[in-house]
């Protein structure tokens, strides 16, 4: 399994996910600007992975200030956190990880700066390690909703590339396969950036999970002509009432699944739950450049003159979500996250 981010002899690397599966290229992240650019360009992406990346980016960004005054160190911590937090607005894991780092730093305010940096480094590693554990627990809890023989439909990429570990929705699926269940997965290609086709199909191939790639607009046909046992997707931010943002197209899938009586599940670690917002209406949806729609990986497919929009996420309302699989278990409607 490819790790999206790793440390090697105190150097930080990420794998360029924009090139996968055609090319494997690792990139060294030398400072916070490298990391901010990588998160923005989706070189590293997926809600849990960008939380892990933000914490690691803060570490490399603060390293040059390890021998500076406490005042300057905290000034830089603030500045770098704001920069990293501003890279992508929808996934809450980003601010969750940065707030966690900040809380640790503030609890050591009167201690020597090198000790604070060292503790922050260990916190960034802990955020990564805990995500691996949360993925494993999500994979285990998710088994209660997967029959021994199952046809599952998924959207976007929620595997090892999007997290620190095995993945969330894909973690549930891969765990089912590892436990000997007879699994087949329909994979939405996930336009505009094709995370399903490029990353999920590739990860399922690597894990030898039988799967079939479909265009996003085939999902209704598949649900009406084949027996689909469940739709399982990830999430980028889950509000207190269970409304949840995920990759654009998820809401449509949830509507389709409900129409066809197919149970629709989301899988996410608790770092994706934002109890500070009451409903999905408060979730900020990232608007990306319309060129992502006019082009497919550098190839123009529409007139430059045609206006195009690229909202990266949509919000699925809680009544459409049959269950939310977290590391603490499977939550059911009505949802009250605190
Ligand atoms: O724009 P992306 O590729 O970062 O979007 C990713 C998704 O929407 C995933 O489904 C979500 O982050 C969950 S990843 C475990």
| pLDDT one-digit tens code per residue, 284-303 | 999 999 999 999 988 999 99
Write the class of the CATH domain 141-331.
alpha beta
Whether residue 188 lies in the annotated active site: no
Backbone φ, ψ for residue 72 (5° rounding): -65, -40
Residue 162 Cα, ligand 1 centroid: separation in angstroms? 7
- Quick one: what percent of the chain has pLDDT higher than 70? 100
Res. 149 pLDDT band, cuts 50 70 90: very high
Compute, in angstroms, the gap from residue 116 CA to the centroid of ligand 1. 32
Q: Ligand 1 pocket: which residues have CB below 6 Å?
A: 42, 45-48, 91, 156, 158, 162-163, 168, 195, 234-236, 246-247, 312
Give the Å distances, CA to CA, from 89 to 20, 51, 96, 165, 258: 24, 12, 12, 23, 28
User: What integer is the mean pLDDT of 58-84?
Assistant: 98
* pLDDT above 90 as % of the chain: 99
List every span in the chain annotated with CATH 1.20.120.420: 5-137
Map tokens 């691996």 to a residue: 132
Which whole-number Å values give the CA distances from 37 to 3, 32, 237, 279, in the listed order? 19, 9, 22, 30
Q: What is the pTM of this model?
A: 0.97
Mean pLDDT for 48-68 is 98
Residues of the chain with CATH 3.40.50.10470: 141-331
What is the sign, positive or negative, of the torsion defined by CA atoms of 200, 205, 206, 209?
A: positive
Q: What is the pLDDT of residue 298?
A: 87
**Average pLDDT of the residues in 98-110:** 97
pLDDT the model gives residue 1: 80
Cα angle value 20/23/25 (rounded, 5°): 95
- Res 297: pLDDT: 85
In this predicted structure, what is the pLDDT of residue 2? Answer: 86
Q: Which of 188, 236, 243, 274 is catalytic?
A: 236
* Residue 220 predicted with pLDDT over 90: yes
328 pLDDT exceeds 90? yes
- pLDDT tens track for 41-52: 999 999 999 999
Query: Which spans in 47-186 are helix H?
Result: 47-62, 70-85, 93-106, 113-141, 169-178
CATH 1.10.645.10 fits 5-137, yes or no: no
């Amino acid at each position: 399994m490819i790790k999206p981010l790793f440390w090697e002899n105190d150097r930080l690397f990420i794998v360029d996910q924009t090139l996968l599966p055609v090319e494997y290229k690792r990139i060294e992240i030398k400072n916070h600007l490298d990391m901010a650019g990588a998160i923005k360009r989706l070189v590293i992406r997926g809600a849990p992975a960008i939380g892990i990346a933000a914490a690691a980016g803060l570490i490399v960004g603060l390293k040059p200030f390890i021998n500076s005054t406490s005042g300057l160190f905290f000034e830089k911590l603030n500045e770098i956190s704001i920069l990293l937090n501003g890279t992508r607005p929808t996934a809450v894991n980003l601010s969750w990880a940065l707030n966690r780092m900040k809380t640790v730093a503030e609890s050591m305010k009167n201690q020597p700066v090198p000790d604070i940096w060292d503790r922050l480094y260990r916190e960034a590693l802990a955020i990564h390690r805990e995500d691996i554990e949360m993925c494993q627990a999500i994979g285990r809890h998710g088994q209660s909703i997967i029959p021994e023989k199952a046809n599952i439909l998924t959207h976007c990429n929620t595997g090892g590339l999007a997290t620190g570990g095995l993945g969330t929705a894909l973690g549930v699926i891969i765990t089912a396969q590892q436990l000997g269940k007879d699994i087949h997965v329909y994979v939405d290609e996930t336009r505009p950036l094709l995370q399903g086709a490029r990353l999920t199909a590739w990860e399922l191939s690597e894990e030898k999970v039988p799967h079939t790639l479909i265009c996003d607009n085939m999902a209704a046909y598949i649900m009406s002509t084949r027996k689909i046992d469940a739709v399982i997707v990830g999430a980028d931010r889950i509000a207190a009432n269970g409304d949840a943002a995920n990759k654009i197209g998820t809401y449509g899938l949830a509507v389709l699944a409900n129409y066809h009586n197919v149970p629709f599940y989301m899988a996410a670690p608790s770092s994706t739950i934002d109890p500070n917002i009451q409903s999905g209406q408060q979730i900020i949806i990232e608007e990306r450049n319309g060129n992502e729609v006019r082009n497919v990986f550098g190839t123009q497919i529409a007139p430059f003159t045609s206006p195009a929009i690229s909202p990266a996420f949509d919000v699925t309302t809680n009544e459409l979500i049959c269950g939310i699989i977290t590391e603490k278990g499977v939550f059911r409607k009505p949802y009250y996250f605190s």
